[in-house]
Structure 1
Amino acid sequence: MSLRSRFPDVAAKHSPDPDLAVPDEEPASAYLRAAFLDSVQKFEPDARLEAFANVRLFGRLFADGVFEERAANIFLRLQSEINSAADEDDVDAVRIGFAHIDRGSVVLNLRPVAPEMPDDDQISVTAPSKLEAALMRVLDLHDAVEAGDETRALSAARGDLGVRLRQLVESLDEAGAGMEVDLSRSNGARRHSRIGEAGRANARRLFERHRNVDVITLSGVLRTTSTAGKIELTVDKRAVEIVEVPADIAKQLPWDQQLRISVRRTLSVARAGSKPKARHQYIKWLAHDEMFDDTTENDNDAAARGRH
């Protein structure tokens, strides 16, 4: 006899947990990976797993799971984004490839990558691979664009990453497609990111408002500095803010001499009756023995150019 038959009064009063009635979209493999890593870390606290990812292209062109020219172009654009998110010296380490292609639109199963292992003379601490770290920065940008969070998107679009995102979105637009990335991280966590029709539209609006981007050199005297990534130069009697300055560079900048700093300037499209807003992103502190080039200008020149 079953327990339900033996105790009918108790069974009648019991109601199931409503949370159990909701399907859990997390795959069982994610729980198994996390559980395995948790058990291993009891003996080796710094243990990590291999990271791997699946890239899914969806849309009418890819409904039959055919990997063709436009799919290959999107894949190359993703590689360019990853390259831009990594350091220049790590390009070989962040090169992606896929082991095979699954159906269900086009699903590219990327090769697993091992975590970074310390050298014999270093502290025994493992770290995510350079590819995993770069891919996380790319997905941060994709999530911000998909959510329509312009502030977060501009912050995540460091270096040339914003340009590479624009190229990816152009390729997705050409194919009328979207892209999902499902990343299983080395710490056992799972990260899912998507750029769909809404994300592509948000990206186009972002590019339209911030389409004037160029590299210039600002010349001035240090006004304020912070290890939080911001400094101010006095350029032609005006304070010009420079963002994303590495903390070690900010500490080295002298106060008593003229500085030349290469920046990436983004001019937002001005509203009627207002001046365009300029954002200056740090690239390099130029030594005095480096030749002046034609891009050196002051902030007044920047505003004047933006009005034309």
Structure 2
Amino acid sequence: MSDGSLSGDLTFVVNRFQREIEAALPAALAEQGIGKIELVSITEGSAVLHMKPVFATSVEQDGLEIDAESLFDGAVRKVLDVHDALEEGAVAAELPGNEKKLLDAVRLMTEELAEHDVNLEVSALEGRGNRRLSRLSRVGISHAVHLFERTVQKEKQQIGGYVHTVSLDGRLTLAASTRKRAHKSVIEQVPSALIRAGSFPLGEYMRVAVDAEIKTDALGNRPETKYKFSEILAHSPEASL
């Protein structure tokens, strides 16, 4: 793993790589410690970080003891498959596995690599003696950052629901139903004049127009939607609590 120098703390790579490996494993197995690695030494010159797996004394799945080494090697292969695909400029649909948890972990790795201006090279020696080489250069990292970057889409929407809360700072919360755990939509930038005028009686069903800002990355992951108030469309007192 190299950036050409030892400037800065590169040990973040160990933590991020471990998170990637754990994300490539079934959650129950990762919790048993299969994905854990430790830093053995750092070789100067090219900032080579020597790491090795730390296996739990016993790992079980469905009550049976399993081969932790093979599972670890398989998880590393999955991680490096994604790294290689990014280095080759793969589009979202071409990324192997396309598992959200793993891709989130890879995203965090590439973001930190970009932040520290660090290239990543991995030489992984499997338990059976096979060696796997993988590389994320600045080109691959830049492609990954662009792929994982969230873009904003704006559209007009209508939201209906029961007034759950309304605050003087311009936030209105509408609940989709009267159930306790009903989905709630938070709408911002409600004019204070409407709030002071009592236009949002608690418990009343109403429909409002909003400007929706939807953020998502090229993989369709990490969606985030914000609603900005536009106008009141209808009140339905008969549907109130």
TM-score (norm. length: structure 2): 0.54
Equivalent-residue separation in structure 2 for 1:293 and 1:131 (angstroms): 41
The structure with the largest helix share of the pair is 1
Checking the alignment, whether the CA contact within 8 Å between 1:166 and 1:203 is kept in structure 2 is yes
- Deviation of 1:174 after TM superposition, in Å, equals 1.6
Q: Does residue 125 of structure 2 align to residue 184 of structure 1?
A: yes
Q: Which residue of 1 aligns with 2:94?
A: 152
Equivalent-residue separation in structure 2 for 1:125 and 1:87 (angstroms): 13
Structure 2 runs not aligned, ≥5 long: 154-179, 185-211, 216-224, 226-241
Equivalent-residue separation in structure 2 for 1:77 and 1:123 (angstroms): 30
Checking the alignment, whether the CA contact within 8 Å between 2:36 and 2:53 is kept in structure 1 is no
Checking the alignment, whether the CA contact within 8 Å between 1:178 and 1:197 is kept in structure 2 is yes
SS in 2 for 1:156: coil
- Deviation of 1:118 after TM superposition, in Å, equals 9.9
Q: Does residue 28 of structure 2 align to residue 83 of structure 1?
A: no
Structure 1 103/157 Cα, relative in aligned 2: closer, same or farther at 3 Å? farther
Letter in 2 for 1:57: S
Structure 1 293/100 Cα, relative in aligned 2: closer, same or farther at 3 Å? farther
Question: Quick one: percent identity of the two aligned structures?
Answer: 29
- Deviation of 1:197 after TM superposition, in Å, equals 0.7
Q: Which residue of 2 aligns with 1:134?
A: 75
- Paired positions, count: 160
Letter in 2 for 1:152: E
Checking the alignment, whether the CA contact within 8 Å between 2:124 and 2:133 is kept in structure 1 is yes
Equivalent-residue separation in structure 2 for 1:189 and 1:103 (angstroms): 26
Letter in 1 for 2:94: R
SS in 2 for 1:58: coil
- Deviation of 1:130 after TM superposition, in Å, equals 2.8
Q: Which residue of 2 aligns with 1:294?
A: 183
The structure with the largest strand share of the pair is 2
* Aligned with 2:3 (options 51, 58, 66): 58
Question: After superposition, where does 1:142-291 map in structure 2 within 5 Å?
Answer: 142-150=83-91, 151-153=93-95, 155-208=96-149, 211=150
Checking the alignment, whether the CA contact within 8 Å between 2:39 and 2:49 is kept in structure 1 is yes
Equivalent-residue separation in structure 2 for 1:57 and 1:294 (angstroms): 47
Equivalent-residue separation in structure 1 for 2:67 and 2:22 (angstroms): 22
Tell me the alpha carbon deviations over residues 97-145 of structure 1, each in whole angstroms, 9 at most, x when there is no partner: 022221231112112567x9999xx999967433222211111110000
Equivalent-residue separation in structure 1 for 2:137 and 2:145 (angstroms): 12
TM-score (norm. length: structure 1): 0.43
Letter in 2 for 1:148: G
Structure 1 runs not aligned, ≥5 long: 1-55, 213-268, 271-290, 296-303
